[in-house]
Amino acid sequence: DAKTTQPNSMESNEEEPVHLPCNHSTISGTDYIHWYRQLPSQGPEYVIHGLTSNVNNRMASLAIAEDRKSSTLILHRATLRDAAVYYCILRVRMEYGNKLVFGAGTILRVKS
């Protein structure tokens, strides 16, 4: 399965931007890059996704390298509620649809 590599943990100050990196050097041409986050005692929730171009939504921005071997999730102003495990995931195309392949994720701590 296609794999991603992320730092184990990162720390940020409240109200400051956070850049969460992800390496996916074995990505194939049809694999989408997804980010999910998981708050304590909850299931993962979708954050953002992209294929080649940078993407923005109300939660975050996704910057994808030109060679697609890495990407960065950007939280523009971290809040205490953003403290979670962030997963960079490759959505692998299967015959029946799509499959999410999770890595270990990055634990984001936000300091007030």
Q: Where does this chain bind another protein (CB under 8 A)?
A: 32, 34, 41-46, 49, 85, 87, 91, 93-105
For residues 12 and 88, what is the distance between their CA atoms, to the nearest angstrom? 18
Nearer to another protein, 13 or 30 (CB): 30
Nearer to another protein, 55 or 74 (CB): 55
Task: Provide the minimum distance between the beta carbon of 64 and another protein in the complex, in angstroms, as a whole number.
Answer: 15
Ramachandran area for residue 104 (φ above 0: left; ψ -120 to 50: alpha; else beta) = alpha
Strands 98-101 and 106-111: unpaired
Nearer to another protein, 65 or 100 (CB): 100
Residue 81 dihedral angles phi and psi, to the nearest 5°: -75, -10
- Which of 83, 82, 100 lies closest to 91, judged by CA? 100
Task: Provide the minimum distance between the beta carbon of 78 and another protein in the complex, in angstroms, as a whole number.
Answer: 21
Nearer to another protein, 94 or 112 (CB): 94
